[in-house]
Amino acid sequence: MATPATSPDQGAFKTPKIVRVRSTGSTSGTPITIPASPFMKKLGCGTGVNVYLMNRVGNLNASPWAVKKINSKCAAKQVAVYQQRLNEEAKVLKGINHPNIVGFRAFTTAKDGSKCLAMEYGGEQSLNDLIEKRREDGLKAFPAAIIEKVALHVARGLQYLHNEKKLLHGDMKSCNVVIKGDFETVKICDVGVSLQLDENMKVSDPKAKYIGTEPWKPKECLEEGGEITDKADIYAYGLTLWEMMTLAMPHLEMLEDDEGEVLEDSMELSFDEDAYYERLGTRPALDTEALGSSYRRMVELFYLCTEEDHKKRPTAAQIVQALESNASLDKTPSEVIVID
C-alpha cells in the first residue's frame, strides 16, 4: 500500500476522516461508508482517476469492492470533465450484468462533491500488470491455454456488450481486463468511454468521439470520418491477445533492444515518431516460429481480428462460437480457428 504523501512539517499531516455518504445508485439507498484514500489499498490508476480496494467492515461475508475516485491531484479545470465521465460510466455500468464484466455496486457523492463509483472487485491485478511482471521475470509468452481462456472470456463479455446492450466498449486493452487469482476469473472493466451502437452495429451518434488508447486504435478510428462499428473493439481485442504473446505494447517495438528490453533511459532518443504513427492501425509483427505450434489457434485469431479492413474482422459472437467449439471438441493444438 502506498504511503500517504506528507509535507516536510509532519505535524501538519492530519489523519483523514472516514467519509459517510449515501448511495445514489444502489437499490437499497442505505448509507455506505467510503474510507479516505490513504486507508484503502491502491489497485491502479487511469486518466484522472485512481482505483482502490475497499474492504467492507461489519460483515465478515461481504466481498470487497473496487472504488474509483477522481484523482485529487488533477488540475481544477479537468475535475469536472472526469466527474462527468465517471457519472456516465456509473449509468452504463448499472445496466450491465455479465460474469465477464465487472459489476456495478454503488455510485456515491462525498461531502466535498467528489464522485465515487463502487464496483465488483474483479481482481487485484490487471492483465497488463501480469504481462509486465512476466516480462520483468524474464519469461516469454503466456501458455497458449491461458491465452485461449482469456480470449474466450473477454470475447463473451464483448458479445454481451455488442449484441445485448448495443455498446462499443471503446477502450479494449490489457489494462482494462482484470484477473483474479490464477486466471480464476477474467473480467472486462472501465466502460467509461463506451459508445451506443445501432441495429447495424455502427456508432449511432455521428458526433460521438471514439476515445480509445492510441496504440490499440484501429485504422478507421484514426481517420477523419472513419466508420466506427463493433469491429473497433475486435481490433483492440486482437492486439490484447498479441500483448499476451509478445509481452509488449503494440507499435512501440522501436523502444526495445534486440533482447526485447525497454530502453527507458533513452526513449526520447530512440523514439521515431514518424515510424510510430505510420504503424498505428496496422497489424504488428509476430514471431510465430518462436511461439511454436501450440499457439497456432491464437495466432490465427490474432490475424483475423487485426485485419485493417474492419469488414473482414469477425464479430464477438463468431469468436465465441469458434472458441467454444474448439473447447468442446478438445481439438489438438494444431487445429486453427475457422470463422465463416
- For 117-171, what is each residue's pLDDT tens digit? 989 888 778 999 999 999 999 999 999 999 999 999 999 999 999 999 999 999 9
- Contact assessment for residue 197 and residue 229, using Cβ atoms and an 8 Å cutoff: yes
Q: Sketch the domain layout of the chain as residue ranges.
A: 37-120, 125-254+273-325
When pLDDT is averaged across residues 195-219 and rounded to a whole number, the result is 95
Radius of gyration for the alpha carbons in the chain, expressed in angstroms and rounded: 21
Q: What is the pLDDT of residues 264-288, one digit of tens each?
A: 454 455 678 888 999 999 999 999 9
Backbone angles phi, psi at 331, to 5 degrees: -75, 165
Query: What's residue 130's pLDDT?
Result: 97
Per-residue exposure over 159-198, b if at least 16 CB sit within 10 Å of its own CB, e if not: bbbbbebebbbbbbbbbbbbbeeebeebbbbbbbbbbebe
Residue 232 has pLDDT above 50, yes or no: yes
Local confidence band at 35 (pLDDT 50, 70, 90 cut-offs): confident
- Contact assessment for residue 187 and residue 150, using Cβ atoms and an 8 Å cutoff: no
Percent of the chain with pLDDT over 90: 54
Query: What's residue 3's pLDDT?
Result: 42
Q: Which entry of 129, 137, 171, 265 is annotated as an active-site residue?
A: 171
pTM, full prediction: 0.81
- Which CATH class name applies to 37-120? alpha beta
Q: Cα 245–166–84 angle (5° rounding)?
A: 90
Per-residue exposure over 210-230, b if at least 16 CB sit within 10 Å of its own CB, e if not: bebbebbbbbbbeeeebebbb
User: Is residue 171 annotated as part of the catalytic site, yes or no?
Assistant: yes
- Which CATH class name applies to 125-254+273-325? mainly alpha
